[in-house]
Structure 1
């Protein structure tokens, strides 16, 4: 498609509006503007490529951006929309006119009655330059006008520092990497940092590209306040009804809650089972017994659901060997684990403190074991005020139990 053909036939551009759904109300909270060009055969082609092609003159891209924004704002005003409207702005054009084209348009629409609080300017994190002074001044000015700023983080390794400095009102992330046959918990750490950052700076987390039940579940479990994608409601040339997918999302949310309750119950049942086992087993272990003898005894008592046992002190130093079950079901000692320091593990000291206070064991989240390269859980239990035993539970056992994966 020739960029010049587009600029000479702006009347062939059709605007679509992609709904943004609120998790709080399950209602449409706003719309993202998308632009398409109608070919001679009637087919519509997305114009996203136009703004990504650096060979297209800046004047063309600025003019097309202005045209799309102006038309969208006019439709928005005529229909007296109460929701918000998200407009994409290419930050790379900022150096060309300092954003004056956009600001002039917004100010002119404000005179006609546009409420700036309904407008979101969306930018891409990948377009943010290393030297951010100009960008920060621009986004700060938008905020002073009451306009919100959203940052689309297309790459999962995007710069958290740049996001923190801009402090947007919304952070957009994509669920497209998560396929239908994937297990959502495998990717929990992918957006953990973004979720933490969004809470610290007061930004809402929006998950886009949701095309399946699995992806909506992932967004729900990872703190998404807003959702967007074809699984809910795809973009269309009119503003979608406010409650267009409320019933669907409510039903899915109910399933999510039921599944999470089932998981929590399964984890509590396993925790209580092991706690009870330790209360009857520990008194049978003679005082002063060597640590390696103790873990071998514990391993044999828990052999049907554990493959590795070891003991650490409160500083994270491993005092025992690793007692590991081999393929024959026999327990062997591996000396290389002794004296390793596990204090670097996330939540290690938090769990130590919890065990000291609650006087009971803790079951970890799912994580990938470095040596076995498979998903496992670890159960930790306080065997004294200074000693803690750790039991690694294999994927095979977790898979067989309902609700532990």
Structure 2
């Protein structure tokens, strides 16, 4: 898009509004403001204009202001009481310590704008000390903060977290195939845990297909955005426009999730009962720990690839009994290694001790094999705990266990 064409025809610049839907009420709770340029009767995205590094900052700022003002005019005229998500380049925002952007909002505040209806989306990967100060100040005024492209923040994430963001935006553009890399799924899961810890809500954007919506729902998304739900529009929409569809899809997701959880629980119960029989025989015959590992591995031959025993503090009491190239071998180098540093290890030990029941883990990537697995942990007594690592192949063959 030619920058001079845009700057000489500013009357063709207009805001479009992409609705953002809530998971709890299934209604529109706000809109992301997007820049469009009318050309040949078509509203074309201004993305190329804003992403062109050769366009002067002054041009970017002028068009940004124009879009913002026209969006705020629409908001006040509509009196619909919705929220506007406003994109701002962090670098431009801090050029004057954020004063210019704030002056526009104050101008409209005098006309009836509530600053709490503004969600500032910071769209830049770096977070300088100056940006952190500006964002903190905005927060004191009631402006809410959304961190865009959160998956690209890497080393700057801690600074954005220090600003107490209200919303973390996560793109599902990569999640276009059901066979997406498990590492990416694990990363998104980690983001959902981060959001929970810092008190922020997750907004999943670029939802273009139903399975992406299901993934967002399953992984703690409070807000949804994307063409699957609604494309950007020139006007505000009925807040209930997708309520029936979202409610129906949510019910389908709930049924599917329940079925998957039931399969996980049934597997755990089955392993529990079989281990009770094996360990009862082990106790009667006074077998060694290594002999117990051999018995367990033989019984669960088609399911597991590694078994070992730890004490209540996470120290291995045995070697690993490991299936390598189809043969079972002992790995004595693992004796006395400690695994208490693993997340939830000690918590799970205490749960097993209290309930006298085994636990089946969620899906995770094994450190050594890099495969997606689950682990079943089983209390032999108050001091010894058996761990059975279940293969990806077995989980894949059992419908619902890789979900």
Name 2:212's counterpart in structure 1. Answer: 215
1:339 aligns with 2:342: no
Q: How does 1:56-135 map to 2 (within 5 A)?
A: 56-129=55-128, 132=129, 134-135=130-131
**Matching of residue 383 in structure 1 with residue 380 in structure 2:** yes
C-alpha deviations, 1:72-128, integer Å up to 9, x for none?
A: 111111111221111112221134333333222212212211222212222124142
Partner of 1:200: 197
Partner SS state of residue 190, structure 1: helix
The structural deviation recorded for 1:366 is 1.3
User: Does structure 1 retain, via aligned residues, the 8 Å contact 2:91–2:124?
Assistant: no
CA distance in 1, matches of 2:133, 2:306: 55
Look up the match of 1:137.
133
- Structure 1 counterpart of 2:240: 243
**Aligned match for 2:347, one of 342, 347, 350:** 350
2:335 pairs with 1:319: no
CA contact (8 A) 1:184 1:214 kept: no
User: Cα 1:359–1:184, aligned 2, differ >3 Å: closer, same or farther?
Assistant: farther
2:94–2:131 CA contact under 8 A, matched in 1: no
Q: Distance in 1 between matches of 2:115 and 2:342?
A: 46
The 1:252–1:180 alpha-carbon spacing in structure 2 relative to 1, beyond 3 Å, is farther
1:32 alignment partner, SS class: strand
Deviation at 1:340, TM superposition (A): 2.9
Q: Does the Cα contact within 8 Å between 2:268 and 2:360 map onto a contact in 1?
A: yes
The match for 2:27 is 27
CA distances 1:292-347 after superposition (whole Å, capped 9, x unpaired): 1111012222224223221112222222223334666x644343433333223221
Q: CA separation in 2, counterparts of 1:104 and 1:157?
A: 28
1:191 counterpart (170, 188, 191): 188
Q: TM-score, normalised by structure 2?
A: 0.92
Deviations 1:131-161 (A, max 9, x none): x1x3233223322332212111353453331
Distance (Å, rounded) in 2 between the aligned partners of 1:278 and 1:8: 77
State the secondary structure of the residue aligned to 2:389.
Answer: strand
User: Are the equivalent residues in 1 in contact too, given 2:13–2:36 (CA < 8 A)?
Assistant: yes
- Relative to structure 1, is the Cα distance of residues 370 and 164 closer, same or farther in structure 2, using a 3 angstrom cutoff? closer
Distance 1:204 1:138, change over 3 A: same
1:307 is paired with a residue whose SS is strand
**TM-score, length-normalised on structure 1?**
0.92
Change (3 A) 1:157 1:378: farther
Paired position in structure 2 for 1:7: 7
Q: RMSD across aligned C-alpha pairs, in angstroms?
A: 2.2
Q: CA contact under 8 A between 2:132 and 2:159: conserved in structure 1?
A: no
Q: Is the 8 A contact 1:300 1:331 kept in 2?
A: no
CA contact (8 A) 1:180 1:212 kept: no
Q: What is the match of residue 224 of structure 2?
A: 227
Q: Distance in 2 between matches of 1:184 and 1:242?
A: 35
Structure 1 residues 393 and 198 mapped into 2: Cα distance closer, same or farther (>3 Å)? closer
Question: For 2:312 and 2:298, how far apart are their aligned partners in 1?
Answer: 25
**Partners of 2:370 and 2:137 in 1: CA distance:** 49
Q: Matches of 2:140 and 2:279 in 1, distance apart?
A: 64
SS of corresponding position for 2:313: coil
CA contact (8 A) 1:50 1:56 kept: yes
Say which is worse superposed, 157-166 or 263-272, in terms of deviation: 157-166
8 Å CA contact 2:125–2:153 kept in 1: the answer is no
Structure 1 residues 29-69: Cα deviation after superposition (integer angstroms, max 9, x where no partner) = 01111011233x44443212333333322221221111111
1:378 and 1:391 in contact (8 A); partners too: yes
Distance 2:242 2:181 in 1: 23
Q: 1:246 to 1:396 in 2, by over 3 A?
A: same
Query: Displacement, 1:185?
Result: 6.0
1:126 aligned counterpart, secondary structure: coil
Structure-2 residue corresponding to 1:53: 52
SS at match of 2:165: coil
Q: Which residue of 2 aligns with 1:301?
A: 299
| Equivalent in the alignment of 1:167 | 164
